[in-house]
Each structure stands twice: as C-alpha cells, then as structure tokens.
Amino acid sequence: MSLVDQFKPETSQSALVAPSALVRQARRRSQRQQWLIYGARILLVVGALVFWQLASGTILDASFLSNPLAILHQTITWLSDGSPWYESTLIANTVVTLEETLLGLFFGIASGLILGFLFGLQPTLERIFNPFIIALNSIPKIALAPLFILWLGIEIPMKVVLAAVTVFFLIFLNTINGVRNVDQHLVDAVRLMGGRQRDIVLKVILPSATGSVLTGLHVAIPYALIGAIVAEQIGANRGIGYLIQSSGESFNAAGIFAALLVLTVIAGLLNAVVNLIDRKTSHWKAGLKLHSSDQQ
C-alpha cells in the first residue's frame, strides 16, 4: 500500500503493480460502506431530534426533558442578552471554564512531567514514595474540593487547582511508566556509541516515553474539564458548571441541555487537539500493526 511494500520483494507480492480489478472492487465496497455509516448516523440524529420535538408536550413532559427548539431558543437568548456577543452569558461563562481547564492542564502536565521523569530516573526515590503516591491517587480528587475552597475561596484558582491535581496524577503515573519501560537494549546501544547519561536521557528515554505520556494526556484532557465543571458546580458564580447548576435550581431544563451542548463542543475541540498532537508525534509508529507479522 505504501512505497515501502514496493521495495520489499520478500514480504509482499501484492501492491507491486497498479490496483487490479479485485482491489478496485474492494475499495468501492469499503467506500460504499463508509457512506452508509455516515448516512445512518445523520439519519439517527435527525430522527431523534424530530421525535424529541414532536413527543415533547404530548408523551414527554417538557418541563423535565425540554425540546430541541426550546434549547435552541435558550442558546440564542444566552448569546444575545444585550451585551456584545463576546461578553454574552454563554461566551463569558465558556471562557471562564476554558481558562480553568487550560490552566489546570498546564500546571498538571508540567508538574506531572517533571516529577514523573525525576521518579522514573531515580527508582529508589520512587520506591520510598510509592505507597504514599498510591494512597493519594486513590482519593477521588473531587472529594478534595471543600479543602481547596477553604484555602482558595470560590474564585478561579480553586478550580485550576482541582483540575491540575486530577491531571497531575494521570501524567505523573504514565510518565513514570514510560521512563521505566525503556528498552534496555536501546540504552546499551547509546552507551556503545560513547553516549553519556545526558545522551541516554535525551535521545532514548525522552522519545521512548512520549507514547506513554500521550496516553496520559488523552485521558487527562477530559478529566481536566471534569475537574473544572465539578468545582464550578460545588461553588462558583461563573462558568459552564455554574450555568448548569443555576439552570437546574430554577427548573430550566432547556438551560441545562444548552450548557451541556456547549460542554460537548469544548470536549470535542480539546480531543481534536490531542489527536493532532498524536499524529504529529507518532508518525514513526504509523502502520506498526500492518508489519508486525514480519518481525520476529
């Protein structure tokens, strides 16, 4: 399928020549399958929305379940409440939540990476701290929220700290793992080249731990958002979490759904960023599975 296969006479007989009729047919079939799946998804969403709208007020209680048009109406109201759009209820609160999430991610990732590398490279240190780290990690971070409110009040720093603590452990543990799982043979190879400790860390441990760190990052991003939202629901006067909480308290089901919609969009965007980083850093892994059969 790639350049590579064409140059590997001993492992591949296919893909040497232009696609045959059979290959073209298989491609067409998988293409058709793809369109079918996209089509089915769109149909499902449209169908659900239409059903929701029609059933609302007849078989479903609109005060509990709201309906798509009411949610749309609520969203527009939040976007046009007199102030310029970028200062409207929806955008202002989104910005607050995003700020907390990103700051939490930043501090959590930075501290997790630094301590993860330190502990990974110093096994004795890790062995001393291990039981305490496990104990701390097993506490649900959300349970710490009252403590952070006590220390920092209900402003932004409290949410940042809660998100950061959640992110920290995910990055920290994955970094230790990545550093620990470095292939000893690769380390020996660098020693044979005359490499010093610095070369081993920079040229072997760092790149080989990247995969594990990224796995941590994948999980950490949604958790940072969860940390920020839950902190806002526990105590805040701004943010998407606060919007959900206050809509709930005033029996505004459409408001809850509209805020959840915004939340979904934020989570989707953050995930897209992770996927982008993933693709940029793991190009050397692409197709690994394809060729696993000719490695011993």
Partner 1 sequence: MSTVIHIEQLSKSFVRNDQEIAVLRNMNLDIESGSFVVIAGPSGCGKTTLLNIVAGLLPPSSGAVYYKGAPISGPRLEVGYLTQKDTLMPWRSVERNVEMPLEIRGVAAPERRRRAAEFIRLVGLAGFEKLYPHELSGGMLRRASLARMLVTMPETLLLDEPFAALDAQLRLELQNELLSLWSRQRSSVLFVTHDLEEAILLGDRVLVLGAGGRIIADEPVTLPRPRDVFHIRFRPEFTSLHRRLWDALMESRSQVQRQEVKL
Query: Which one of the spans 1-9, 123-131, 150-158, 233-241 is the region binding partner 1 (CB under 8 A)?
Result: 1-9
Cβ 277 to partner 1 shortest distance, Å = 15
Whether residue 102 contacts residue 290, with contact meaning beta carbons closer than 8 Å, is answered with no
Query: Which one of the spans 60-68, 165-173, 206-214, 257-265 is the region binding partner 1 (CB under 8 A)?
Result: 206-214
Cβ 64 to partner 1 shortest distance, Å = 53
Q: Say whether residue 7 binds partner 1 (CB under 8 A).
A: yes
With CB under 8 A as the contact rule, the residue among 68, 195, 222, 248 that binds partner 1 is 195
Q: Per DSSP, what are the bridge partners of residue 60?
A: 56
Whether residue 93 contacts residue 238, with contact meaning beta carbons closer than 8 Å, is answered with yes
- C-alpha closest to that of 167 among 119, 93, 113: 113
With CB under 8 A as the contact rule, the residue among 199, 230, 260, 278 that binds partner 1 is 199
Cβ 200 to partner 1 shortest distance, Å = 10
Cβ 185 to partner 1 shortest distance, Å = 5
Query: Which one of the spans 41-49, 84-92, 102-110, 288-296 is the region binding partner 1 (CB under 8 A)?
Result: 288-296
Whether residue 274 contacts residue 221, with contact meaning beta carbons closer than 8 Å, is answered with yes
Cβ 4 to partner 1 shortest distance, Å = 4
Q: Say whether residue 14 binds partner 1 (CB under 8 A).
A: no
Query: What would the two tokens of residue 34 be?
Result: 């793809």
**Tell me, what amino acid is at 243?**
L
With CB under 8 A as the contact rule, the residue among 42, 194, 268, 280 that binds partner 1 is 194
Q: Say whether residue 288 binds partner 1 (CB under 8 A).
A: yes
Whether residue 75 contacts residue 89, with contact meaning beta carbons closer than 8 Å, is answered with no
Cβ 281 to partner 1 shortest distance, Å = 9
Length of the chain in terms of residues written: 296
Q: Give SS3 for 277.
A: helix
Query: What would the two tokens of residue 55 be?
Result: 């059933």
- C-alpha closest to that of 121 among 209, 42, 2: 209
CB atoms under 10 Å from CB of 111, counted, come to: 16
- Which residue, chain included where needed, has tokens 């296919």? 14
Q: Say whether residue 11 binds partner 1 (CB under 8 A).
A: yes
With CB under 8 A as the contact rule, the residue among 22, 135, 150, 193 that binds partner 1 is 193
- The secondary structure of 63-131 as a DSSP string is HHH--HHHHHHHHHHHH-SSS-GGGSHHHHHHHHHHHHHHHHHHHHHHHHHHHHHHHHH-HHHHHHHHH
Query: What would the two tokens of residue 219 be?
Result: 């999980």
With CB under 8 A as the contact rule, the residue among 203, 248, 267, 278 that binds partner 1 is 203
Site string for partner 1, 216-255 (x = CB under 8 A): ----------------------------------------
Which residues in this chain contact partner 1 in the complex, by CB under 8 A? 2-4, 7-8, 10-11, 183, 185-186, 188-195, 199, 203-204, 207-208, 210, 283-285, 287-288, 291, 294-296
